[in-house]
């Protein structure tokens, strides 16, 4: 056996070689793990220390002495601020758990499951995310809030348009998120494994990928409209839907109160909204109050408005309904069978004519609905309203024609007729025995109250209240003596009547926050259209001019329906006519239906002879009359609508 002894120099050299091999082996192993698993991009440094090898007690081997054990790897370096995208940066405030993303960039970095955001290392510490200072940012990137298990709030700018894949993955404490009007798309799995109980969607046209798992079924979706992608998605996916109120309209624009109570109904859109409860308001509780059920209680004479607001968080407010508290109650029974109604001539009321029937017939049943025939008693006659007793002997006012429609009540005189131009609102007072002072006083009180109401509604001066006898004297009516003959019996005349109306106008309209005149609603254009100087759109013979162009969605003030498919409106300081079918006026009149007579007729693109014939219409074909040319060289043609297109026909071929 040979024993080899090493000197000190050789021993030191050998120890250096052994230490070098150990260090190289350690780095090789760490690199392989990093490449194989791709779990970290942070460099980890591992170090070892060695001592020179000493002689073994066993003369046959050499062993190093116990060296110091390698230290534990250091924790990865956590960066609490850095880059989040082009011209975007992030900062995490460890004191309050808020993550801030700011800058002028529009797009966040595209993160993934293998390339998570740099703030993912402290995701569980994030309680709130502020993206609202990145005003140009249009997307919440993929995995942006992934694994933020303590996230409770997120704030973003109004320019945000989309939410990326798994953006809210595993956010277990985010109680609700609101998706604003501009967010138009949610990517697949945006809320995967999220415990968010409520997602509020403000954009009804929000697009969701129906092919992928996007929102957990346990999440409630708050949205607007049933015919929308988000609503349909929620129904298919099995989510509990909270359907919000999109709009509220009251069932009428005006109520005249005589009785102590009346009920106002709010029509909700959609009618199947989840929370249908509304809160009611009055502009003057001294005039009328309104309870939680929409019941109006009249307090004293005057005018106020009531309206309601949604309580579901949609912040929708209804239109205002005018409440006029008077001594009379206005009812309605429109005489649609009367030839006067069928003529449908529109007026812009300029005054009031007060009639009396001249016979001992105080009950309304003598006239309502008896006059709802083409020619009552064989005469072409009709007024706007009747004032008389109901079956129980109580006085009531019944409206039988729209107040903006010409009536046949006053006949005509040398200057014209108050039936048409200028058009007056006319009503009949049902007379009783000429010596029944109690009944006369009741009628006088209600008639003057009714006139005060009409003056306020149509901004009429009390001086424009006259009688049939007065209309005759002014040259605009036939020879009649009513109502003056009845007033005279009890020591009254029309000057007394007008002065009483004047006082009542003040009583009703003395509230400082209200103005005389009717409340007019706004209507919107469904497409680009023009306001015309006349209710006609053809360019021949009528000198109708385009006053102003109205863009789609623009609002104008609705003044009245012309009952021929047109409405009279105001925009800025201009007044003119628009076609109802081009606006969102819910109950606007339509064009008058006409039929082609037995001869048949041709449609023309211009009212200029055979050169412009385009189509023959046979007997009884229906068209809608827009207007008739009654002046100039083209007189004798009518402008009609046929299958949503506009043509001219010869007027004498229609009936």
Containing 22, the helix (H) or strand (E) segment is helix 8-37
CATH code at position 445: 3.40.80.10
Residue 533 and residue 428 in one domain: no
Name the pTM for this structure. Answer: 0.50
Whole-angstrom Cα distance, residue 37 to residue 488?
110
Indicate whether 514 belongs to any domain. Answer: no
Q: What is the pLDDT of residue 53?
A: 37
What pLDDT does 130 receive? 94
Give the separation between CA 473 and CA 501, rounded to whole angstroms.
21
At 570, give phi and psi (nearest 5°).
-135, 135
Closest among 636, 637, 623 to 594, alpha carbons compared: 623
Task: Give, in order, the Cα–Cα distances in Å from 240 to each of 200, 214, 217, 247, 487.
Answer: 12, 15, 8, 22, 69
Tokens 């990865």 — which residue?
A: 76
483 and 366 in one domain? yes
Do 213 and 127 share a domain, yes or no? yes
In a domain, 513, yes or no: no
In a domain, 203, yes or no: yes
pLDDT averaged per 10 residues, the chain (length 655)? 44 44 36 32 32 37 37 53 92 94 89 92 94 88 92 87 88 82 77 79 70 68 85 84 92 72 88 94 92 90 90 91 80 90 87 96 94 94 96 91 93 93 94 89 94 86 96 96 95 96 76 37 81 70 75 84 75 84 71 77 86 88 77 77 83 83
Token pair belonging to 57: 């007690």
CATH code for the domain of 627: 2.30.30
503 in a structural domain: yes
**Residue carrying structure tokens 């120099």:** 9
pLDDT of residue 562: 66
92 and 156 share a domain?
yes
Question: Is the CB of residue 551 less than 8 Å from the CB of residue 527?
Answer: no
Spatial distance between the Cα atoms of 534 and 247, rounded to a whole number of angstroms = 33
The verdict on 362 and 305 lying in the same domain is no
Q: Can you give the pLDDT at residue 78?
A: 64
pLDDT of residue 417: 95
Are residues 71 and 98 both part of a single domain? Answer: no
| Domains contained in the chain, number | 6
224, 272, 296, 501, 568 from 250: Cα distances, Å: 20, 17, 13, 30, 22
pLDDT at 147: 94
For residue 202, the enclosing domain spans: 81-244
Q: Same structural domain for residues 374 and 417?
A: yes
In terms of domains, do 173 and 262 share one? Answer: no
Contacts of 476 (CB under 8 A, 6+ apart): 410, 412, 413, 415, 416, 417, 418, 422
């Amino acid at each position: 056996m040979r024993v080899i002894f090493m000197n000190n120099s050789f021993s030191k050299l050998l120890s250096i070689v052994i230490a070098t091999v150990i260090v190289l082996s350690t780095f090789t192993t760490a690199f392989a793990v990093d490449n194989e698993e791709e779990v970290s991009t942070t460099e980890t440094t591992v170090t070892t220390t060695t001592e020179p090898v000493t002689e073994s007690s066993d003369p046959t081997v050499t062993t190093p002495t116990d060296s110091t054990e390698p230290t534990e790897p250091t924790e990865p370096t956590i960066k609490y601020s850095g880059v989040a995208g082009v011209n975007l940066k992030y900062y995490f405030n460890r004191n309050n758990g808020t993550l801030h993303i700011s800058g002028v960039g529009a797009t966040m970095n595209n993160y993934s499951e293998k390339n998570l955001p740099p703030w993912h290392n402290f995701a569980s510490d994030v309680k709130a995310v502020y993206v609202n200072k990145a005003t140009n940012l249009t997307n919440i990137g993929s995995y942006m809030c992934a694994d933020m298990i303590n996230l409770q709030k997120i704030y973003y700018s109004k320019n945000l348009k989309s939410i990326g894949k798994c953006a809210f993955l595993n956010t277990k404490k985010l109680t609700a998120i609101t998706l604003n009007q501009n967010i138009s798309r949610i990517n697949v799995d945006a809320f995967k494994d999220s415990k968010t109980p409520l997602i509020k969607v403000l954009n009804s046209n929000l697009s969701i990928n129906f092919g992928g798992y996007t929102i957990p079924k346990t999440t409630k979706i708050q949205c607007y409209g049933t015919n929308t992608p988000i609503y349909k998605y929620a129904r298919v996916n099995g989510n509990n839907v909270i359907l919000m109120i999109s709009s509220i309209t009251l069932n009428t624009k005006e109520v005249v109160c005589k009785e102590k109570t009346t009920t106002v109904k709010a029509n909700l859109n959609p009618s199947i909204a989840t929370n249908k409860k509304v809160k009611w308001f009055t502009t003057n509780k001294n005039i009328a109050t309104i309870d939680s059920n929409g019941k109006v209680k009249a307090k004293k004479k005057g005018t106020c408005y009531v309206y309601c607001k949604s309580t579901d968080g949609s912040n929708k407010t209804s239109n205002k309904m005018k409440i006029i508290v008077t001594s009379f109650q206005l009812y309605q029974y429109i005489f649609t069978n009367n030839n006067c109604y069928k003529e449908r001539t529109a007026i812009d009321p300029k005054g009031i004519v007060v009639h009396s029937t001249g016979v001992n017939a105080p009950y309304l049943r003598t006239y309502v609905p008896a006059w709802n025939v083409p020619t009552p008693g064989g005469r072409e006659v009709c007024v706007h309203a009747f004032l008389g007793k109901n079956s129980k002997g109580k006085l009531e006012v019944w409206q039988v024609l729209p107040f903006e429609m010409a009536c046949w009540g006053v006949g005509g005189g040398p200057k014209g007729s108050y039936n048409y131009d200028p058009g007056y609102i006319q009503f009949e007072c049902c007379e009783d025995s000429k010596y029944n002072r109690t009944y006369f006083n009741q009628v006088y009180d209600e008639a003057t109250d009714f006139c005060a109401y009409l003056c306020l509604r149509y901004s009429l001066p009390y001086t424009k209240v006259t009688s049939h006898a007065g209309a005759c004297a002014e040259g605009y009516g036939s020879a009649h003596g009513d109502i003056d003959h009845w007033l005279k019996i009890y020591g009254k005349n029309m000057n007394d009547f007008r002065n009483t109306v004047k006082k009542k106008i003040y009583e009703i309209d003395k509230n400082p926050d209200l103005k005389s005149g009717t409340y007019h609603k706004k209507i919107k254009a469904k497409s680009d259209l023009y306001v015309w100087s006349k209710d006609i759109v053809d360019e021949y013979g009528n000198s109708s001019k385009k006053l102003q162009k109205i863009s789609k969605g623009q609002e104008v003030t609705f003044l009245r329906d012309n009952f021929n498919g047109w409405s009279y409106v105001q925009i800025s300081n201009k007044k003119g006519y628009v076609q109802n079918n081009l606006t969102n006026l819910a109950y606007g009149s339509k064009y008058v239906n006409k039929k082609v007579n037995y001869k048949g007729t041709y449609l023309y693109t211009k009212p200029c002879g055979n050169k412009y014939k385009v189509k023959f219409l046979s007997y009884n074909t229906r068209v809608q009359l827009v207007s008739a040319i009654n002046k100039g060289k083209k007189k004798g043609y009518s402008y009609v609508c046929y299958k949503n297109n506009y043509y001219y026909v010869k007027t004498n071929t229609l009936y």
